[in-house]
Structure 1
Amino acid sequence: MTFALSRRHLLQGSLITAGSGLLTACGGGTSPQSPNRPNSNRPQTMTPTAQRPQIQVQPARVVSQGNANTMRIFASSGFCEDPSRIQTGLNRLSSAGFVISNHHAAYRRFQRFAGSDAERIADLQEVADGRVPTPKVLMGARGGYGAARLLPHINWGNLGARMREQGTLLFGFSDVTAIQMALLAQSGVPSFAGPMLYSEFAKPVADTYTMDSFIRTTTSSQLTVAVSSFQIQRPRAVEGMLWGGNLSVVASLVGSPYMPRVQGGILFLEDVSEQPYRIERMLQTLHLAGILRQQQAIVLGDFRMGNIRDSYDSSYDLNMVAQTMSRVANIPVFTGFPFGHIANKTSFPLGARAKIQPDNMGGYTVTFSDYPALNAAALNLNALLPPPTYDFGTGFFGSGESSDSEF
C-alpha cells in the first residue's frame, strides 16, 4: 500500500547545508528556488558496498532561461532492449519538465548497437555543427559498447564550445566514458557521472537515492560527498581536477588523442565484474603510460565484484590492488566512493575542481565546484522521485529501490 509522505522521510539522514554560490560556467543572475530538503532522523540504509554518504550542496545561480529545460538523447553504445521501458524513462523525464528531442535514438538497433555508426555519430555531431539547437542536457541512453567507434568522427572542439556557451550538462557512465573523456581531452568541457535514460530513469521504480542525488547535484554550484570507513592508502589532502570513469574504457584510450592530459589531477575509476588481477593490469597500463604519476590521487568507486575472486589466490582482493598501486605510483588511493554499476549512485562532475580531505575516522570528503547546473525554477525535478511505500511487516517506509543497475 502506498502512502503520501513528506520529503524528509526520503533523505534518510543525509546532511544538507544551505548556502549561495556563483556558478562560474553559467554566470551570475537570479537564483532559482531551491527544493526544501530538511534532515531526517531515520537511520540510513546501506548501498551494496558502502554506507550512503552525507551530501552538502550550495544552490546554483543560472542566467540562461532559453534552453533551461531542453534535453537531447544520444545513444552512443548498446541498444535498449525494451521499448516499453524506454517510454517509462521518457515519461519520467517529461514529467520533470524536460522537453526531450532525438528520443527516437533510444529505439534504434543495428547489430549490437543503438543504431549504425552514422546514426550514433549524428546524435552529437548535429549539435556540434549547429544543425540542431544546443540543449541544456545531453542524456546518454545506456552503456554497453560502441562509443569508441564514434570518436574520430565528432568535432569535439565545436561540440565543447557550444556546450560551454549554453552551460550544457552531459550525463553518462560505463561505455559513455569514451564520450566524456574525448570531450574533456579535446575541448576541456566537463560532464557528469550520473544516471542515464535506460539504466536508471527507465526503471519501473526509480531509485530514491540516485534520483535525489541527481536533483541535488544538478541544482547546486558546489557538492560535498562524505565517505566513511573505507580504505585509504597514504592519506593526505589533495586538490585538483577530478576526471576519469570506467576503468576498462579509460585504459583503452591510452596513447590516443582522446585520453585527457591532466597534470596534478585526481583520477576516478570504477568497473564491473573484473577479477582483481585484471583491475591491477589496467591500472598498471595507466602507470606505465605515465598517467598515474601525473595525478595527485586515485579514487576508486564500486567495482561490483560480488563473488568474483582471483582463482589463484582468493585473498588477493581490491584492497590489495589499491595498496600495490599506491606504492607503485606513490600517491594516495581512496576507495569506496559511491558510484559504479550499482543501483544507488551519486551524481558528480567529471572534469571539475575537487578537493579531498581525509577525516580522523578512516573516511574522507570530496568537495566539487566549478561545474554547470540546471535552472531548478524551470523544472519540476521532484517528480523524478518515486512515491514511498509502507511495509506493514516492518513498520518502515521504503522507496522500492532495486539492488542492481543496468548499463
Structure 2
Amino acid sequence: MPRIYIYSPSGAVRDRAALRRGVRRLQALGHEVQVDEAALASHQRFAGDDATRLAAIARAAASGADVALITRGGYGLTRLLPALPYEALARAAQQGTRFVGLSDFTALQMALLAQTGAITWAGPTLCADFGCPGEPDEIMQACFGDLLSGEGEGTGWRLPAPRPAKSAQLLAPQPAPVPGKLHVQDALLWGGNLSTLCALAGTPWLPSIQGGVLFLEDVGEHPYRIERMLCQLLHAGVLDAQQAVLLGSFSAYKPVPHDRGFNLNEAVHWLRAQTRTPILSGLPMGHVPTKVLLPVGARVELLLEGRDAWLLWGHMDGHSHPHGHEHACLHCGQA
C-alpha cells in the first residue's frame, strides 16, 4: 500500500474541509495517509513560524513515505532556503520518496536541484487538487497513480492552434515560427512557477542550466507582469541557454481596458521574436485542475510533430535516474 505524507511547508491551510476531503479521497484510492503534526499550524500567513515549517520539512524527509505531498503553496519557502535540510531531502529522494508540489514549492525544488541535483516532482497539492469541492481531475489522478506505481514514463499534449498577433507588423525582428518538428535529447528538465523562479535569480538557489528544457506556469499574474518576468529571464541569458521553453497555464488574471488588445498571446509572440529558443505552449501544468506530473531535474527527451508534443523521461529507477521510455504514459496528455 503506497504511503503518502502530508505536510505544510508554505502558506497556512485556511480551508480545513479541503484538507479532510483530500485525505479521505487518497485513502479511498487505497493509500495510507499520514498527516504531519503541524499541517494545520498557523502563524501570520504561514503554516507555522519558520522553525515549525523547517521541522515539518525534516519530518517529511525522514518519513520514508512513497510521496511527500504539500497541502498548498502560497508563500514561505523562499525565506527558509538557507536553512533547508538539503542532505536529508536528497537522501530521501534517492531512497524513493517523491516530493510533489507546485507554486511556492518551486523555491524548494530549484534550491534542492542547485545544491544537490536531486529530482523532485511538479504536480498537484492536497487541498486544491485532491480536496477540491467537485470531483478531482481524472488526468491529474491518473498521472499521480502512475507516479506511485512507477508506470509513468512521459506525457504528451497538443499545442493550441496558432493565433496571429495583432501587433505582428510592429515586431522587429519577426518572431520565429513554432517548429513543425523538434527533437531534443538528454536535456535536463527544470522550472516551475515563474514568479517564484524569478525571485531566485542572482541567488545560489537558482540552478545554472545550460541546454535544458525549462517549463513555466503562474497564476493571478497579468500578461504584462508575465512578460516582464520573462524579460528578466531573457535578459539574464536564461532563455537563450535552453533547448526549449514550455509554457504551461497562466490563469486567474483579469484583462483591463488599458490593455488595448495586449494579452498573453501578444506577449508570447513578442518573446518568440527575441530568442531562437523554441517556445512551446499548452503544457498541462499549473494552477488548473488538469495537470500532469513532471520530474524536475530528470533528463528528458522532447519531441514535436506538428502540434503534437511528447516529453519523455523513461523509467525512474530508484525514482532518481531516468532510463528508456518504451512505455511512455501518454494518456496524461491534453487534447
Fold shared per TM-score above 0.5: yes
Deviation of 1:346 after TM superposition, in Å, equals 1.7
Deviation of 1:149 after TM superposition, in Å, equals 1.4
Between stretches 327-336 and 295-304, larger displacement belongs to 327-336
1:227 alignment counterpart? 158
Q: 2:73 aligned with 1:143, yes or no?
A: yes
Q: Residues 157 and 187 of structure 1 are in contact (CA less than 8 Å); yes or no, is this contact kept in structure 2?
A: yes
Supply the AA of the counterpart residue of 1:333. Answer: I
Output aligned runs, 1:93-132, within 5 Å. 93-126=26-59, 132=62
Unaligned runs of 5+ in 2: 163-175, 320-335
2:228 alignment counterpart? 281
Deviation of 1:272 after TM superposition, in Å, equals 1.2
Q: Larger C-alpha radius of gyration, 1 or 2? A: 1
Q: Residues 5 and 60 of structure 2 are in contact (CA less than 8 Å); yes or no, is this contact kept in structure 1?
A: no
In structure 1, distance between residues paired with 2:101 and 2:35: 16
Name which of 296, 312, 318 aligns with 1:367.
Answer: 312
Q: 2:255 aligned with 1:322, yes or no?
A: no
2:5 alignment counterpart? 72
1:218-276: CA deviations, max 9, x gaps? Answer: 43251231324444944232231111000000000001111112111011000112222
Output aligned runs, 1:198-217, within 5 Å. 198-204=127-133, 205-217=135-147
In structure 1, distance between residues paired with 2:63 and 2:198: 33
Name which of 61, 85, 106 aligns with 2:18.
Answer: 85
In structure 2, distance between residues paired with 1:307 and 1:355: 35
2:173 alignment counterpart? none
Name which of 178, 200, 206 aligns with 1:253.
Answer: 200
Supply the AA of the counterpart residue of 1:92. Answer: R
1:327-369: CA deviations, max 9, x gaps? Answer: 3232100011111111121222222222222223x34222233
- Compared CA separation, residues 316 and 370, structure 1 to 2 (3 A): farther
Q: Residues 167 and 372 of structure 1 are in contact (CA less than 8 Å); yes or no, is this contact kept in structure 2?
A: no
Q: Residues 160 and 189 of structure 1 are in contact (CA less than 8 Å); yes or no, is this contact kept in structure 2?
A: yes
In structure 1, distance between residues paired with 2:152 and 2:287: 26
Between stretches 226-235 and 145-154, larger displacement belongs to 226-235
**Aligned-partner SS, 1:268:** strand
In structure 2, distance between residues paired with 1:103 and 1:158: 17
Name which of 148, 152, 160 aligns with 2:82.
Answer: 152
- Compared CA separation, residues 138 and 230, structure 1 to 2 (3 A): farther
**Aligned-partner SS, 2:38:** helix
Supply the AA of the counterpart residue of 2:221. Answer: E
2:218 alignment counterpart? 271
**Aligned-partner SS, 2:271:** helix
Deviation of 1:133 after TM superposition, in Å, equals 4.0
- Compared CA separation, residues 303 and 202, structure 1 to 2 (3 A): same
Deviation of 1:290 after TM superposition, in Å, equals 2.2
Deviation of 1:199 after TM superposition, in Å, equals 1.4
Supply the AA of the counterpart residue of 1:368. Answer: W
1:59-92: CA deviations, max 9, x gaps? Answer: xxxxxxxxx7232222111111132332222222
Supply the AA of the counterpart residue of 2:74. Answer: G
Supply the AA of the counterpart residue of 2:316. Answer: Y
- Compared CA separation, residues 273 and 248, structure 1 to 2 (3 A): same
- Compared CA separation, residues 328 and 102, structure 1 to 2 (3 A): same
In structure 2, distance between residues paired with 1:136 and 1:217: 10
Deviation of 1:307 after TM superposition, in Å, equals 4.0
1:332 alignment counterpart? 278
Supply the AA of the counterpart residue of 1:367. Answer: L
Q: Which structure 1 residue ranges, 4+ long, deviate > 6 Å from structure 2? A: none
In structure 1, distance between residues paired with 2:309 and 2:19: 37
- Compared CA separation, residues 300 and 97, structure 1 to 2 (3 A): same
1:193 alignment counterpart? 122
RMSD of aligned C-alpha atoms?
2.3
Q: How many residues align?
A: 301
**Aligned-partner SS, 2:243:** strand
**Aligned-partner SS, 1:344:** coil
- Compared CA separation, residues 352 and 282, structure 1 to 2 (3 A): same
In structure 2, distance between residues paired with 1:372 and 1:154: 26
In structure 2, distance between residues paired with 1:196 and 1:349: 15
Supply the AA of the counterpart residue of 1:195. Answer: P
- Compared CA separation, residues 157 and 323, structure 1 to 2 (3 A): farther
